[in-house]
Amino acid sequence: MLNYMVQFSATRLDASFAALSDPTRRGVLEQLESADASITELADRFQMTLTGMKKHVGVLEQAGLITTEKVGRVRTCRLGLRALEEEAAWIECRRQIWNERFDALDVVVEAMKRKEKMDGR
């Protein structure tokens, strides 16, 4: 059961980071923060074809970052219900690890400076 949760979590993180790796998709998310939009409106806003925008929307939807609803011929996009807490927690954990490593490096550098200063006398 635990392995399944780790695998699910990694898969979700992979999908989220893959979706967020593209500047157009990040722009779509920023656009949807202020208002829902149709795929046509998004394609116009980002000066791309409907087919291209549909692909971007599909990646965002698969990652759970947006949802779409089709009414008639119009597919409307809106921000998904899930926030990025898991992704933010993953990044924060890495940030803490790097901060600890840099702090340890600072200790080593300071010790080397003190030794160098003492040896230089």
Q: Could you give the count of Cα atoms lying within 13 Å of 87 in the half-sphere of its Cβ?
A: 17
- Quick one: average pLDDT of 22-31? 97
- Quick one: average pLDDT of 78-95? 88
Task: DSSP letter for 8, please.
Answer: H
Residue 20 or 86, more confident = 20
* Position 69 pLDDT exceeds 90: yes
Burial per residue of 54-79, b for 16 or more beta-carbon CB atoms within 10 angstroms, e otherwise: eebbebbeebebbbbeeeeeebebeb
Q: Could you give the count of Cα atoms lying within 13 Å of 1 in the half-sphere of its Cβ?
A: 0
% of the chain exceeding 70 in pLDDT = 93
pTM exceeds cut of 0.85: no
